[in-house]
Amino acid sequence: MLQNSMLFNWINAIRNDPVDGIITMLMQIVAILGALILHEVAHGYVALWCGDPTAKMLGRLSLNPARHLDPIGTAMMLLLGVGFAKPVPVNPRNFRNYRRDDLLVSLAGVTMNMLLFLVSGFLMVLCNRNLRITDHHSVLYYLSLFFTHFSILNLSLALFNLLPIPPLDGYHVLNDILLKGKLRLSPDMFRMLHFGLMALLLFTNVINNLLSSMMNAVWTPVITFFYNIVN
């Protein structure tokens, strides 16, 4: 598992080409921070729109990474390619319509990541369309590389969070739409399921294999469509 991690890839890349490796590492760090932070900020802004100012009062509508990053979630992102930031605090009692607003807040982060995937995927295609073999280490080359990393990362985060497993956003979507909000889990149960999910990620390939299949099903037709547009 470590051999496929971002950290392992960074070390190898820096050994092979220090300048290219460091630039690639910095771009991936920016991509990780952008994807995780914008996901959480989207939750906070939609919660505020739905009547809950908790995230705003606690300073979680900021783009400052220090307010959002979770040490374990960030480490998992670096090692596994899938991780999480500190969840935005939400008080559902402030919602104007509990089920509707819970659903909207839950979908906000996923929607943000999907939009970022579509925009960065299209920009990646535009860059690749104009890339030449001699453009290695050029600005266009690194832009293409960044948009590739950013699009893949945002798609993986969106699909991961759509899994109907507590405490992921997909659980709230399942509960609000299909179960009509009837399933109520205690905070202790949420914490247990959270640790269970992390154990699945750390010690098995179940989630990773599922995500790979889901990503292939989405990535290929979308990127192919973009290439057809620019051509």
209-220 confidence digits (pLDDT tens): 888 899 999 999
SS3 152: helix
Judged on CB neighbours under 10 Å (0-12, 13-18, 19+), 51 is middle
124-146 confidence digits (pLDDT tens): 999 999 888 777 778 899 999 99
Residue 121 has what pLDDT?
Answer: 97
Residue 49 has what pLDDT?
Answer: 96
Task: State the pTM of this model.
Answer: 0.88
The HSE-up count of residue 11 (CA atoms within 13 Å, CB side) is: 8
Confidence band of 73 (pLDDT split at 50, 70, 90): confident
Confidence band of 1 (pLDDT split at 50, 70, 90): very low
Residue 3 has what pLDDT?
Answer: 42
Cβ atoms of residues 128 and 230 within 8 Å: no
* Residue ranges covered by each domain of the chain: 2-230
Q: What is the mean pLDDT of the chain?
A: 86
Active-site residue flag, 40: yes
Higher pLDDT, 44 or 196: 44
> Which residue among the candidates 40, 52, 101, 102 is catalytic per the annotation?
40
SS3 85: strand
99-131 confidence digits (pLDDT tens): 899 899 999 999 999 999 999 999 999 999 988
Within 10 A of 131 (CB to CB), how many other CB atoms are there? 15
Measured CA to CA, the distance from residue 92 to residue 54 in angstroms comes to 10
